[in-house]
Amino acid sequence: MDRDSLRRLREQPGYLAFVSAATLARVSDEMFSVGVVLLVLHRTGSPALAGATVAAITFPSLVSGPLLGAWLDLTGRRRTLMVVDQALIASVLVALVLLVGHAPDWTIPLAAIPAGITYPLSFGGFTSMIPSLVPGELLPPANALETTSFNSALVVGPALAGTLSAVVAPAAPLIVEAVLALAALALIVRIPGLDRAPERAPDRTLWSVAGDGLRMIVAVPQLRAVTSAAALGMSGLGLLTVAFPLFAVDHLGAERSAAGYMWAAFAVGSTLGPSAWCASSDTSRRSGSC
């Protein structure tokens, strides 16, 4: 990315606030799976409860994801939904700090479910805002910077959660996550031009728009294959959420908080691997796939 593109992006009204809000929200989200597992294991010693709590915040997105996208298309009210998302996650994080180890175990996953409803927004929701904030010729550098936000959060979030848990207290990552979410919320309300005209005909319904998207995934072989592969891959990663802290203790002789560094190393490897492959592949460079 050249300096002129960066300068022009900085000059776009609200763009710096957008990138900052997206990065803070994503770091907060990436801290969650490490922070909440470490807190639950510390206070209850139950891997099953730790896994159930993480599942409770991710499972609702299977249903809510298509509906959130359809709602954005029908209303164009991105700011409202993003504010609700960050407020929900901050509230749930505070509730978990208060409830874990002090309330009945069955209440912990239930407390996490509300944040799971808007969970996809911190990733896809922010990406959908870019065309509203920058002109068409700046979309390539804006998307490149967006990728940096993703990759930074994947590394910084888990490492920060593990460090805070080890150095301060197991509840500290969740408190910091809540603060980051509220900081992202404060930035979101300052971004001009987030809301825009609906992208769908006014006679369409929420369910019909969501249904069209799901039917497209089923009908197009490429989309169907990519979605299926991603689902299988994410299922495997979900197992590591609880396995990493247990592996650190049982096989590495380390503290559970080392799971944060394991996730960070995993993210660095997944970032460097494709980059190295692209750099060494003449075919991918010629085709422009990297």
224-259 pLDDT per residue, tens? 787 777 767 667 777 788 888 998 988 888 899 999
**Fold of the domain spanning 3-287:** Growth Hormone; Chain: A; (1.20.1250)
Q: Would you state the pLDDT for residue 273?
A: 57
Q: Would you state the pLDDT for residue 103?
A: 95
d(CA 131, CA 196): 11
d(CA 96, CA 249): 24
39-51 pLDDT per residue, tens? 999 999 999 999 9
- Low-confidence stretches of the chain (pLDDT < 50) are 283-289
End-to-end CA distance of the chain: 14
d(CA 245, CA 74): 42
Q: Would you state the pLDDT for residue 279?
A: 56
d(CA 108, CA 11): 45
Q: Would you state the pLDDT for residue 196?
A: 65
